[in-house]
Amino acid sequence: MQTSTATTASIMAFQSLVNEIHDLNATQALLGWDLETHMPEKGSAMRAKQMATLAKLSHNLMTSAEMDEHLRHLRQPGIPEKLDTMSQALVREVGRSYDKSKKTPLELLQEMVETTAEAHNIWVDARANKQFKQFEPVLRKIISLNQRLAEAQGYEDSPYDALLDEYEPGLTVKQLDPLFAKLKADIVPLLKAIQDSGHSPEAGFLHEGFFPAEKQLEFSRKVLTDMGFDFEAGRLDLSAHPFSSGSSSHDVRLTTRIDEHDVFSALSSSMHEGGHGMYEQGVNPVLNRTPLAEGTSLGIHESQSRLWENQVGRSRAFWKHYFPKLQETFPELKNVTAEKFYHGINRVRPSFIRVESDEVTYNLHILLRYEIEKALIEGSMKVDEIPEAWAAKAQEYLGITPSNDAEGALQDIHWSHGSFGYFPTYTLGNLYSAQFFHTAKKQIDGLEDKIGHGELLPLKNWLNKEIHWVGKMENAAAIVQRVTGEPLNARYFVDYLWGKYGEIFKISR
Amino acid sequence: MQTSTATTASIMAFQSLVNEIHDLNATQALLGWDLETHMPEKGSAMRAKQMATLAKLSHNLMTSAEMDEHLRHLRQPGIPEKLDTMSQALVREVGRSYDKSKKTPLELLQEMVETTAEAHNIWVDARANKQFKQFEPVLRKIISLNQRLAEAQGYEDSPYDALLDEYEPGLTVKQLDPLFAKLKADIVPLLKAIQDSGHSPEAGFLHEGFFPAEKQLEFSRKVLTDMGFDFEAGRLDLSAHPFSSGSSSHDVRLTTRIDEHDVFSALSSSMHEGGHGMYEQGVNPVLNRTPLAEGTSLGIHESQSRLWENQVGRSRAFWKHYFPKLQETFPELKNVTAEKFYHGINRVRPSFIRVESDEVTYNLHILLRYEIEKALIEGSMKVDEIPEAWAAKAQEYLGITPSNDAEGALQDIHWSHGSFGYFPTYTLGNLYSAQFFHTAKKQIDGLEDKIGHGELLPLKNWLNKEIHWVGKMENAAAIVQRVTGEPLNARYFVDYLWGKYGEIFKISR
């Protein structure tokens, strides 16, 4: 009985400490959102200091004697089994972060936060000037900080494993190398068959004309509303690079970017970020103010965004309903048919920009980044070799060469954020999304028909129930197994690609 | 020599601790700005928790053993004199906050933060519904928290003194009672003379027509730019109640509110908040990340906003230059002359809403609030008696009775913020502003002529140099003495009113 009272007291104090840490982290997320959407230019140096201070205080609490004491007690053999399932998951997840934090020197963490806060504006400028050279010094520093981080965390085979583990717990180079090899083996023949098909859908109409920013935003908001994104618990703003950022299920911020000569890309980004945002909004609110509310892994997170962006947002059924509405909004499209539009947005053509690339070539973009990141972190590539390596790999995998750094190594925000090991989760997301959607079609009566009538809520409700609600109480593998009845299986994604693009391009395996 | 080394080490550690506290406070200011400008509705409960956590951590640092140790060392007799002037001021100001914090129980502080974060939305709803009753329960709680705060801080005569001291160090009921009595004695005859003058400037054109929000915002941004507000170090957004909020001289957020049937009030608010914002932007950046960067007192702060809003923004010279531009922007004004416009915006007519009231009656609004606040805090008035008391005093001082609570006790945001003792600083601001502007006219060659040509930067530069740069290194009394050569003197304000309104209404003392 005495143990039980001590445990109850400990779990309550532990939860309240976890809540405070989460408040600091949520606040930091808001500072980051503000930095990229509303902060005046001159604010960046002070913002860097503020974010560094929050990171330090969060780290201090995470590694405090109080936390140590609680975890020491709550992780004793026999104790976790006595806790309710939420507390069990909390002890497991916070314990995992605690172990990581303990291994991370505070100075390293603060240097990372300060460096990356300043790196943001440098990256924005460098990209505007298309000059990778401008970004090199700060990137060199970021890589060296990541290498120090990997050494501090420890790893078995590659220092890159330590970084992968940040985003997809347990993921290693040993698992990724064969996975990417297999995808390459499956996708290259498909790409070749498509290119040999002689069919090249017209897509000029996507860029011909002027599509006012305000109307695009309004259309995005309408579709997000239909999808079930809750605008009383979230927003959509503009930023240089689209992202989603949540501080609780009740406050989720999406961003998109608009090109007034492109009728599709902002909407597509909005649906993508909406998928992320709806994951955050869909978590059981009881888990708010804890890391259990954050989504179980980046791969699962990305499966939600890719599902809405591609399985839904690039489907024939979706556009059956939405194309007439798009035409109404943008009269420039009056001579285009829904079918022509569907073909246009599914054109397959190797391009420079990852976020604008088609579903077939997308994972080749990830492969390129994966190989470069791994080499940089392992020390076999230097920062000033990136542009050349990028060009060579783009040529090898995609058959094209970027004409400048903005089309190459400066296109993504991730490195300026200090994120290495993040990109591979995009490919995992693609694989998970196909597997989930395959199951959804089996379990939701007439799903495609519903989508074809603009009824998106049945899918949203299914995702809420099957994937979102549980938050981080279950890990990625457990969720995939429970929802789809089997472990991650790349077959669903490959089948999806062959099925869809086989039909469009009239080809078969 | 040993003392000197210990002192150097202590002052450095002290400053870095102060920086962290300031980062937390600046972050909290941003959370508050976001809450009132961008936060989705459902975010308020979580936001309250986040703000409470930041307040707690800031309070913990402020009252930490480390802070105690530094201040104990740095406030020893003989030590302050050895410090540079910035460090001296920092020890003095932080020491003052430390003494206050030590007296404030942490639970009280947290309860205040949580209560007021939730009170915001309650106030917004209550105001929309014009139902003071809705706001009563939370207001009752806020008042009781303020009473507990006053008891904790201690006071000599009235518990209200302890609250006044938060905003205007040293200010007491003993000083305010005669000051307000004197102002009342000077203003009531002026108001009577104006009402007896038989002249009642036409002002219908200010509200007749449709003045699109976007054009109003653009005009406000143009005038703020001319004033010298730095938009690379600040923003202007919309909120229910205009405010300005700065986290450093490099990041200052202004808000205004727009009525599309009112051509003047949003601009006037923007100039007002711009005056506050330019104070924050004008502080020596070396003082950033310390409380010395915050402006020396609310009275001095308000002098800057009122100077731009009234001494400049309601002057004949200003509108000589800007009226033709306003006419261009809003063709509805095409039959109005600059002189007619000047008379219109300086119409004197008792009204319900403080922020829209004229310069003559404004301080009577403050008097009303001062008397109610004092009575509430001293316990001689109950919350449910406010609407009646408000109506009675409005009738007594202004000769009018609000027709609903939105025109009465629900019009101001301050109580929902938990701020009691704040209102009187508005009157101090009016007095200071007249005294400063009187000096500026003597020291800047042809100031009114310059304003008449839209040259506002000489005034801005003078204010930067004389008042802003020093931040909180000097207190209010020292600044007024240094800049104007004498202590606060209400004569300048009264002379200004009689001079300006005597001319408009053709009356004399």
B221 Cβ neighbours under 8 A, 6+ residues apart = B231, B236, B270
Whether A50 contacts chain B with CB within 8 A: yes
What kind of fold does domain B173-505 have according to CATH? Neurolysin; domain 3 (1.10.1370)
Spatial distance between the Cα atoms of A191 and A172, rounded to a whole number of angstroms: 27
Range in A232-246, B107-121, B477-491 the model is least confident about: B107-121
Beta strands in A222-348 (DSSP E): 234-238, 244-248, 251-256
Range in A462-466, B162-166, B354-358 the model is least confident about: B354-358
For residue B231, how many C-alpha atoms fall within 13 Å in the half-sphere facing its CB? 12
What are the domain boundaries of chain A?
Answer: 2-103, 173-505
In total, the C-beta contacts within 8 angstroms joining chain A to chain B are 109
> Smallest CA–CA separation between A235 and chain B, in Å?
7
> Smallest CA–CA separation between A132 and chain B, in Å?
25
pLDDT of residue A3: 52
Asked whether the beta carbons of residue A235 and residue B38 sit closer than 8 angstroms, the reply is yes
Question: Tens place of pLDDT for every residue, chain A, 509 residues?
Answer: 345 788 999 999 999 999 999 999 999 999 999 999 999 999 999 999 999 999 999 999 999 999 999 999 999 999 999 999 999 999 999 999 999 988 988 899 889 988 998 898 899 999 999 999 999 999 999 999 999 999 999 999 999 999 999 999 889 999 899 889 889 899 989 999 999 999 999 999 999 999 999 999 999 999 999 999 999 999 999 998 899 998 899 999 999 999 999 999 999 999 999 999 999 999 999 999 999 999 999 999 999 999 999 999 999 999 999 999 999 999 999 999 999 999 999 999 999 999 889 999 999 999 999 999 999 999 999 999 999 999 999 998 888 999 999 999 999 999 999 999 999 999 999 999 999 999 999 999 999 999 999 999 999 999 999 999 999 999 999 999 999 999 998 899 999 999 999 999 999 88
> Smallest CA–CA separation between B503 and chain A, in Å?
43
Spatial distance between the Cα atoms of A282 and A28, rounded to a whole number of angstroms: 22
DSSP line for B412-443:
-SGGGGT--S-THHHHHHHHHHHHHHHHHHHH
Question: Which among A294, A283, A291, A295 is positioned nearest to A14, based on CA atoms?
Answer: A291
For residue A78, how many C-alpha atoms fall within 13 Å in the half-sphere facing its CB? 3
A252: phi then psi, degrees, rounded to nearest 5: -125, 125
User: Taking CB atoms and an 8 Å cutoff, what residues of chain B touch A252?
Assistant: 40
Counting residues of chain B whose pLDDT is more than 70, the rounded percentage is 99
Residue B355: band (very low, low, confident or very high) from pLDDT cuts 50, 70, 90? confident
Asked whether the beta carbons of residue B234 and residue A31 sit closer than 8 angstroms, the reply is no
pLDDT of residue A2: 43
Q: Are strands A244-248 and B234-238 parallel, antiparallel or unpaired?
A: unpaired
Active site residues of A: 273
> Smallest CA–CA separation between A166 and chain B, in Å?
25
What type of residue is A285?
P
- Residue-wise pLDDT for B313-352, tens only, equals 999 999 999 999 999 999 999 999 999 999 999 999 999 9
Looking at the predicted structure, is the pLDDT value of residue B275 above 50? Answer: yes
pLDDT of residue A340: 97
Residue matched to tokens 């930490």: B64
Residue B4: band (very low, low, confident or very high) from pLDDT cuts 50, 70, 90? confident
pLDDT of residue B6: 86
User: Taking CB atoms and an 8 Å cutoff, what residues of chain A touch B45?
Assistant: 250
CA dist list (Å): A162 to A148, A379, B260: 11, 15, 57
Looking at the predicted structure, is the pLDDT value of residue B46 above 50? Answer: yes
Spatial distance between the Cα atoms of A403 and A391, rounded to a whole number of angstroms: 9
Asked whether the beta carbons of residue B43 and residue A289 sit closer than 8 angstroms, the reply is no
B185 Cβ neighbours under 8 A, 6+ residues apart = none
User: Taking CB atoms and an 8 Å cutoff, what residues of chain A touch B57?
Assistant: 20, 24, 57
Q: What is the pTM of this model?
A: 0.89
Helix ranges, B346-490 (H): 362-378, 386-393, 424-443, 447-452, 457-463, 476-484
Tokens for B129, please give them.
Answer: 């519904």
User: Taking CB atoms and an 8 Å cutoff, what residues of chain B touch A45?
Assistant: 250
Active site residues of B: 273
Report which of residues A251 and B179 the model is more confident about.
A251
Average pLDDT score over chain B = 95
Spatial distance between the Cα atoms of B267 and B224, rounded to a whole number of angstroms: 9
Whether A214 contacts chain B with CB within 8 A: no
- Residue-wise pLDDT for B226-273, tens only, equals 999 999 999 999 998 899 998 899 999 999 999 999 999 999 999 999
Asked whether the beta carbons of residue B250 and residue A40 sit closer than 8 angstroms, the reply is yes
Whether A35 contacts chain B with CB within 8 A: no
Counting residues of chain B whose pLDDT is more than 90, the rounded percentage is 88
User: Taking CB atoms and an 8 Å cutoff, what residues of chain B touch A46?
Assistant: 26, 247-248, 250-251, 288-289
pLDDT of residue B3: 52
Can you say whether residue B235 is alpha, beta or left, with left for phi > 0 and alpha for psi between -120 and 50 degrees? beta
Asked whether the beta carbons of residue A233 and residue B41 sit closer than 8 angstroms, the reply is yes
> Smallest CA–CA separation between A487 and chain B, in Å?
36
User: Taking CB atoms and an 8 Å cutoff, what residues of chain B touch A250?
Assistant: 40, 42-43, 45-46
Looking at the predicted structure, is the pLDDT value of residue B166 above 80? Answer: yes
